[in-house]
Every structure is written in structure tokens, then in C-alpha cells.
């Protein structure tokens, strides 16, 4: 058994001994009280209860001085009352109620709506005619338009015509490229017909880069000698005409060459 268990058993023994001591003291006090209440001074002998008229309870009423029993025994002491430990409650004052002031809403005047007169509608004069709807743009006869440029330089002793069929890649960004599958058809002053090679994607320079007469081309017609005169040029795709016919006149002196740009209408 360790020291902690011994201390617990010792405390339990002291508690039991205290309980037995208190019980014994209470039993002795109760016995003394019962002995005092049963003393001869508190009892009235039966013999003294009789009178000339009979039993004590049949006696008429008499003065208290005559009825008091005479006894030579000293009065038994009255045990003092057992004090009672009564706890007096502590009075706690309740908090004073303070009423909260209620705000009285102030009356807000209702704004009076302001009448705003509307302007009178403006009436058109009766004599003014109603504008006619715009006429729709006429549909072009050919998908390409022809724009001719003539330069005073060129290959000596050679009739030369260059052309470019343009394709619009992005109109907002101004991106253009060459369109494939087209040819130039040229009719000379003597009624002779000349066809260019078929156009391809992209293009090349007609003379030299940064020259004054340089143009972008993807087809051309070249033959010797240089023949001045009037020429008719159109753009064709197979046997189908794809642009209006344009008229070009080459001067005898100085020699010239012609460049035609074919621009789509769309």
C-alpha cells in the first residue's frame, strides 16, 4: 500500500470517528431533555385532583390563584432554546429602469412633381416631297474592272504588255495577292490576236524594283518588233470574258509599254 492510499484511509477513519462522536453527543442531549420533562414537578398527583364535588375536571371554574397547584418543589429549569443559524438573504437592489427616448419621426414634405411641357412635334411642310428610296447599285457585268497605265520606257524594239489579276486577302489590313487561272487577250492594229500565259498566285516585278515604271504582274504579252498603234485588251478565263474591253494606243516615239491592273468588284 503506498503513502497516498494510507493517507486516504486515515482521512476516512477520522471522518467516521467524528460522525460517531457527534451522534453520541446528540443522543445524550436528547436523553437529558426527556428526563427533565418527565420530572415529578410536571405531574399532578391523582389524589390531589379530587375535590368535594368530584373529579378535577368536574370542578367549577375558580380563580387562577386558587386553582394553581401548590408544590414545595422548585420549578424545573427551562432549557434555553437551541439557536438556529438562519442565513439572512442579502438584498440586491434591482437596476433602475431608465426609459429610452423614442424619436418622433419628423414629417418630410412630399415634393410636388414639376410639370415639364413636352415640345410639340415638328411637322414637315405639306409641300415637301418624300425622298425616294435609293436605287440599288447595278450588278456589274464582269467580275473585274480594268485600270490601264502607260509608260514611256520599255524593252527596245519589242511590243510589251503586262497585267496583274488582284485578289483581296484582307481589305481592312490592305493585304492583296495575285489570283490564278486568268489570261489577257489582246487584239492588235492589224487584227492579230495575242494571249498571255495563265496567271499564277503571287506576282513578279515588271521591270526592276524601285524603278519609276516598275509594276507588279503575274502575266504578260511580248513580241517583236515594236508596233505602234491601237490595241484592245480584255481579261478572259478560258472562253469567258471577265473584264470590260479597254483601248490602248502605243506611240511611235518614244517607245512605250502598257500595264493593266484587273481589280475585283467585290
> Domains in the chain, ordered, with CATH?
3-67 (no CATH), 144-264 (2.60.40.1120)
Q: What is the mean pLDDT of residues 166-179?
A: 87
**pLDDT one-digit tens code per residue, 232-254:** 999 999 999 999 999 999 999 89
* pLDDT computed for residue 45 by the predictor: 46
Q: What is the 3-class SS of the chain, one letter each residue?
A: CCHHHHHHHHHHHHHHHHHHHHHHHHHHHHHHHHHHHCCHHHCCCCHHHCCCCCCHHHCCCCCHHHHCCCCCCCCCCCCCCCCCCCCCCCCCCCCCCCCCCCCCCCCCCCCCCCCCCCCCCCCCCCCCCCCCCCCCCCCCCCCEEEEEEEECCCCCCCEEEEEEEEEEEECCCCEEEECCCCEEEEECCCCCEEECCCCCCCCEECCCCCCCCCCEECEEEEECCCCCEEEEEEEEECCEECCCCEEEEECCCCCCEEEEEEEECC
Which grid cell sits at 17?
470517528
Higher pLDDT, 21 or 128: 21
How do 219-223 and 257-264 pair as beta strands?
Answer: unpaired
**Confidence band of 50 (pLDDT split at 50, 70, 90):** very low
Is the pLDDT assigned to residue 1 strictly greater than 80? no
* pLDDT computed for residue 186 by the predictor: 97
Name the average pLDDT for the chain: 77
- Is pTM beyond 0.85 here? no
Is the pLDDT assigned to residue 3 strictly greater than 90? no
**Minimum mean pLDDT among 8-17, 111-120, 193-202, 222-231: which range?**
111-120
Which grid cell sits at 241?
470574258
Amino acid at each position: 500500500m503506498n503513502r497516498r492510499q494510507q493517507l486516504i484511509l486515515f482521512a476516512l477513519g477520522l471522518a467516521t470517528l467524528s460522525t460517531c462522536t457527534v451522534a453520541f453527543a446528540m443522543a445524550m442531549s436528547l436523553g437529558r431533555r426527556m428526563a427533565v420533562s418527565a420530572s415529578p414537578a410536571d405531574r399532578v398527583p391523582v389524589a390531589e385532583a379530587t375535590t368535594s364535588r368530584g373529579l378535577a375536571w368536574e370542578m367549577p371554574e375558580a380563580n387562577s390563584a386558587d386553582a394553581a397547584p401548590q408544590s414545595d418543589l422548585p420549578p424545573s429549569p427551562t432549557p434555553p432554546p437551541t439557536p438556529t443559524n438562519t442565513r439572512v438573504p442579502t438584498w440586491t437592489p434591482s437596476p433602475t429602469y431608465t426609459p429610452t427616448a423614442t424619436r418622433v419621426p419628423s414629417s418630410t414634405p412630399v415634393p410636388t412633381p414639376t410639370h415639364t411641357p413636352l415640345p410639340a412635334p415638328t411637322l414637315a411642310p405639306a409641300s415637301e416631297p418624300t425622298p425616294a428610296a435609293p436605287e440599288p447599285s447595278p450588278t456589274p457585268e464582269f467580275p473585274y474592272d480594268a485600270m490601264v497605265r502607260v509608260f514611256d520606257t520599255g524593252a527596245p524594239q519589242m511590243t510589251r504588255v503586262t497585267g496583274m489579276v488582284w485578289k483581296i486577302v484582307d481589305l481592312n489590313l490592305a493585304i492583296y495577292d495575285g489570283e490564278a487561272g486568268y489570261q489577257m487577250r489582246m487584239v492588235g492594229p492589224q487584227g492579230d490576236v495575242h494571249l498571255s500565259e495563265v496567271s499564277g498566285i503571287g506576282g513578279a516585278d515588271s521591270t526592276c524594283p524601285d524603278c519609276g515604271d516598275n509594276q507588279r504582274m503575274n502575266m504578260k504579252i511580248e513580241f517583236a518588233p515594236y508596233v505602234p498603234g491601237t490595241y484592245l485588251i480584255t481579261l478572259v478565263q478560258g472562253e469567258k470574258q471577265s473584264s470590260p474591253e479597254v483601248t490602248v494606243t502605243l506611240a511611235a516615239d518614244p517607245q512605250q509599254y502598257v500595264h493593266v491592273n484587273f481589280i475585283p468588284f467585290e
